[in-house]
A and B are shown apart, each in its own frame.
Chain A
């Protein structure tokens, strides 16, 4: 990027997380995804005359869990406010949200950058609010359909400080939030179903200056990949504007993946005046010290703590540890596998999990929870590598067999196919002798070559021996015996 030496990029994220409560935030309707339109909308969700909201206590608990998970101040008294605007999928003509007094105050999230360093990103606040419904613009002969199933779904809006300096950091932050909400069990984090959505505030300023440039907000980005692409596209656009002498207007924009460009929806002048005021139908939410204590006690180990533990307890490298804790299910998988393999083999388990298993899963677009190879199976496989039963080549064969469901455990597959590595030196010696006897010309050639060329020529014999042993001969022993015999 040619401009990189001239401009600083400043990014702040607003992440909307759908909380995994059974019912909506202000009504008893269920929150399940994918139901027939308007079958999960009650009188309250429809905004009928005379109905009133009642706060779902579980949503408050989840918000407090999040607050404690990012080491934030918990609002001892938070207030719901009405955000007033007209839209057909907003039944009451206002959204109940929090404005001046949010439930979660200042906190922070640590992200691990590509080079392994850790950067702290500030969280300004997080507040509870209700989601709107959905407008459907197809299939209604020129009219729009309204589905209010989603109306009233509890959301936690997490607002970061403008602490990120490039798209990769923004993605790392979004991933950290994603990991956190899944660890905390407050959201399924499913981005395809809209359980987590991101608004990215982006501005640029001349390198080395302090004052923020005018920001534009990219609305509703719903995948990590698009966060990166959308921010980069937006930055390119802003640089081009400023470098060609134009000004940037504060605006809300949408990212179009098809063209990889951002396009303005509305400018500041067209923005709504939301006329926030405290919702008189709801009382202030008072959170007691005892409640906070109770929530705190029930917190699980969180990604940062787990990462540190993986490094200290298992000796994992920064990258592997960060990779494994990035997803709650993956971390859980890893720990189960380590239990099966023995903790002395944790690094080997990490290698196999990350490079072999995740590689295969990615290629098949599968999640760790859908893995055909179970954690215990990987652990059992690694144990056999560690004790010398399997060479890495044989191990791959066993892994494939496990992947294809050809046996219940690595041991069973090894047994059934006789894949055990041969480490009996007598047996290996016999094979070596047989191969050398059948390759007299090559032996002579080898012995006539000088030291520098011998190494390459040795490969021929190793290949023949491994073939003869069906890959089962212990490679290290083969090497030793072969050198002894050839060296004479």
Chain B
């Protein structure tokens, strides 16, 4: 059962080939058997999963027939889930049992999906390798000496090893797309405002966006249709109507204009990765697409702009973790300052502290104009680059990550090298446009991801392009041997 896509499992449920309880039990068993070697879950919710599965089966017997009814999935531990620990990968929230439910998990639960558990992640989503988690690093199922990417590394590893048929992730600077690429998954970061952020623990509010990570574009379309939509509790959520993303998956690609920015194929890009990406583009051309050169002149500024804006917002977003109302509190505080200092120094890990300090500095009196304001101006330039490019093309294509999965520990001592690995993903968040990662080959036995970027609200088009590509290729169907 675990070799099937979400869509196939959905058909199986509809045709009564398996029940939700059977499916759920199967994946729970796989988690028990395989996760000790991967560390992709922080919390496995065995009991409540079986209860929800039984509930879903009952709903189906009563005549309900939604496409997601009874399908299991895993949630990144950044989404608040009622009565379940929601740690955000941090010691700070190790004891935090959420009293409420996030919009994303609530929508999927309402559609009848069954939560298997909460997946590991970089602490507060700050990282590109899943090595900053308080719960230890996640291993890449394709090579357990390597990172799965981050920050949604647990979700990526869990789906890659088929411990869950699909998972949710969040993407602030590539945190869905990069782990999807490194683990051979299909993942999409929607337009900013497409998916409600209510109950999604904030890292950098103006960049954070939730989205699905799955085996195929079709599975992503199913999930995204259910996750999206206006939410009055999130002022940045958009009132734009949500199309059925599965309806346009099969559209032809004749005349599709694909933009190739030269900035995506410059120095720093691994030859093997470049080869896979160019081959994928050739496949799309064969399907009728036309390739056009585009220019994103400010792309190289996305790393410095992101690493000012995201930490600045984070420094403020993480102020609420003060040991007063919830979360970690140090033992026997002497006074208020001691309570703050020790609770926060014990509760946060090194990377989180680094970004809080960077962000605090960037917002300080006397530096605000030079850093935060300047970064916002750069952000506007980057956005304008995309707006200009999308006058001439329908999608932009390129790599997700400059390399395949790197070794655990390889970049932990060099944050700058780690930050530079995000060069192709950050601009998409800064501009707020949708972007996705699609498996497009292997280099040295490790998966490579093709990035597709679209104009605002063009998720349907991206999923359509990815789906047509996946009908021509088999990369996305590959499963690491040990987990087949």
Contacts and interface: CB of A to CB of B under 8 A. Distances in A.
B322 A281 contact: no
A52 B372 contact: no
Nearest to B205: A280
Given A46-B325, A50-B80, A277 B236 contact: no
17 contacts: A46-B325, A47-B320, A48-B98, A48-B99, A49-B80, A49-B88, A49-B326, A50-B201, A53-B235, A54-B233, A54-B234, A86-B319, A88-B324, A92-B319, A277-B368, A277-B372, A280-B205
Given A82-B316, A275-B363, A54 B322 contact: no
Contact of B232 (A54, A82, A277, A283): A54
Contacts of A46: 325
Contacts of A47: 320, 325
B316 A84 contact: yes
A273 B363 CA distance: 9
Contacts of B236: 280-281, 283
Given A51-B198, A54-B233, A277-B316, 9 more contacts: A47-B325, A49-B326, A50-B197, A50-B200, A91-B324, A91-B325, A94-B319, A277-B313, A277-B368
Interface in A272-315: 273, 275-277, 280-283
The size class of the interface chain B forms with chain A is: 35 or more
A146 interface: yes
Interface string B169-210: 000000000000000000000000000011111101110000
**Pairs of residues from A and B, 10 with the lowest C-beta to C-beta distance, nearest first:** A93-B319, A280-B206, A275-B363, A280-B205, A50-B199, A47-B320, A49-B201, A50-B201, A50-B80, A92-B320
A82 B312 CA distance: 11
Interface in A84-110: 84, 86, 88, 91-94
Contacts of B324: 88, 91, 146
Contacts of A118: none
A41 to B, nearest CB: 10
B398 to A, nearest CB: 27
A49 B320 contact: yes
B365 A273 contact: yes
Interface of B is mostly: loop
Interface of B: 79-80, 86, 88, 93, 96, 98-100, 102, 197-202, 204-206, 232-236, 312-313, 315-316, 318-320, 322, 324-326, 336, 340, 360, 363-365, 368, 372
A277 to B, nearest CB: 6
Contact of A52 (B96, B235, B313, B326): B235
Max count, chain B CB within 10 A of own CB: residue among A84, A92, A93: A93
A48 B316 contact: no
Contact of A84 (B79, B96, B234, B319): B319
A87 to B, nearest CB: 9
A389 B235 CA distance: 68
Given A48-B99, A281-B236, A93 B199 contact: no
B311 to A, nearest CB: 12
Contacts of A86: 319, 322, 340
A88 B372 contact: no
Nearest to B196: A52
A85 to B, nearest CB: 8
A282 B316 CA distance: 14
Nearest to A283: B235
Contacts of A281: 202, 205, 235-236
Interface in A430-464: none
Which among A49, A55, A275, A281 has the greatest number of chain B C-beta atoms within 10 A?
A49
Contacts of A136: none
Contact of B233 (A52, A82, A280): A52
A192 to B, nearest CB: 29
Contact of B322 (A52, A93, A273): A93
A427 interface: no
A52 B197 contact: yes
Nearest to B327: A49
Interface in A47-79: 47-55
A43 interface: yes
A273 B364 contact: yes
B96 A49 contact: yes
A293 B99 CA distance: 44
B316 A93 contact: yes
